[in-house]
């Protein structure tokens, strides 16, 4: 995948994540920081940071439970270590930190 295609796919996924977060009214707040970095803050002060890493062509997630790198496999964004999908992993991570179920369509 070239840089342009990566940027488009990553932007689409980050926009999807943001739309889902708009519907969550408990346990978290979020903002998009310069450079397209999605910062999610929870009531307990913990954070999850989601950003795109252009050089590696990956979407990176930093959470209390660890760091995750997701690469496009032609059909989905998958974790480079576990093979889990980005949306599935993100639902688990955010639900755990927020203390309420957060489900991402497409999981």
In this prediction, residue 42 carries a pLDDT of 92
| 1's tokens | 């995948």
Q: What is the pLDDT of residues 40-91, one digit of tens each?
A: 999 999 999 999 999 999 999 999 999 999 999 999 999 999 999 999 999 9
**Residue 104 counted as domain residue:** no
The tally of domains found in the chain comes to 1
The H or E element spanning position 92 is helix 86-98
**Residue 54 counted as domain residue:** yes
What range defines the domain where residue 51 resides?
3-98
Residues 11, 41: Cα–Cα separation, whole Å = 20
pLDDT higher than 80, residue 105: no
The CATH number of whichever domain residue 8 belongs to comes to: 3.30.920.10
Q: What is the pLDDT of residues 7-33, one digit of tens each?
A: 999 999 999 999 989 888 777 899 999
Phi, then psi, of 30 in degrees rounded to 5: -145, 160
In this prediction, residue 91 carries a pLDDT of 92
């Amino acid at each position: 995948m070239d840089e342009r295609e990566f940027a488009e796919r990553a932007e689409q996924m980050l926009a999807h994540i943001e739309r889902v977060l708009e519907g969550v009214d408990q346990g978290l707040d979020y903002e998009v920081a310069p450079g397209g970095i999605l910062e999610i803050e929870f009531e307990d002060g913990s954070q999850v940071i989601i950003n795109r890493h252009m050089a590696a062509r990956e979407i990176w997630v930093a959470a209390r439970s660890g760091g995750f790198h997701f690469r496009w496999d032609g059909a989905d964004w998958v974790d480079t270590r576990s093979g889990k999908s980005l949306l599935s992993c993100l639902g688990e991570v955010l639900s755990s930190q927020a203390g309420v179920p957060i489900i991402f369509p497409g999981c």
